[in-house]
């Protein structure tokens, strides 16, 4: 019979994930995001214009609505830009790290043993700029899954192949 032990681990000697150098998204991804924002803002502006055209009571607030629209547009673009700059990922020997967020920073560390499968998605604008999004599904369900957007398509394919090789080693 073995003696039971339950020693305390010195947390100072554990590897620090905060010290891992994270890879940034492709610079071309910002163009995709800007296209999506532009389409959204165009639809919003068209809706405001239609309301102003058909509802005479709102015409008196034209300058206020335009000011709010411009302020909202600047805020939206600024927040997206800051958010994209904060996204990073790294692939280590045994896991994948993904970090994102502006106000609430989220860091996911997914061991290869938890990965169920990986998909590569390309939206219409992403394809125009040869970008893709890597979606990693985990055994932990939807809350453990991550999507790494804005990867050059060749890099995304290489990462997917490498992760699939790592999964084959685990099985």
Domain boundaries, the chain: 29-83, 88-170
Give the per-residue pLDDT at 15: 77
Element (H, E) at 135: strand 131-138
Give the per-residue pLDDT at 141: 65
Contacts of 59 (CB under 8 A, 6+ apart): 52
Spell out the per-residue pLDDT of the chain, length 171, in tens.
Answer: 678 888 888 888 877 888 889 999 999 999 999 999 999 999 999 999 999 889 888 888 889 999 999 999 999 999 999 999 999 999 998 899 999 999 999 999 999 888 988 999 999 999 999 999 999 998 876 667 899 999 999 999 999 999 888 888 766
Taking the domain 88-170, which CATH number applies? Answer: 2.30.29.30
Contact 65, 72 (CB under 8 A): no
Question: How would you class 131 by CB atoms within 10 Å of its CB: exposed for 0-12, middle for 13-18, buried for 19 or more?
Answer: buried
Give the per-residue pLDDT at 170: 67
The tokens 């490498």 sit on which residue?
162
């Amino acid at each position: 019979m073995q003696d039971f032990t339950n020693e305390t681990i010195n947390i100072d000697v554990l590897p620090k994930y905060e010290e891992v150098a994270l890879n940034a998204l492709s610079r071309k991804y910002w163009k995709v995001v800007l296209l999506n924002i532009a389409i959204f803002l165009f639809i919003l502006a068209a809706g405001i214009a239609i309301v102003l055209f058909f509802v005479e009571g709102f015409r008196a607030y034209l300058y206020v609505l335009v000011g709010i629209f411009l302020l909202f547009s600047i805020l939206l673009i600024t927040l997206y830009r800051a958010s994209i700059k904060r996204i990073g990922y790294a692939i280590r020997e045994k896991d994948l790290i993904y970090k994102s967020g502006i106000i609430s920073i989220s860091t996911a560390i997914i061991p290869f043993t938890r990965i169920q499968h990986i998909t590569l998605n390309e939206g219409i604008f992403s394809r125009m700029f040869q970008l893709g999004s890597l979606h990693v599904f985990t055994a932990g369900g939807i809350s453990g899954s991550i999507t790494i957007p804005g990867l050059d398509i060749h890099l995304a394919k290489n990462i997917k192949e490498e992760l699939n090789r790592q999964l084959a080693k685990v099985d």
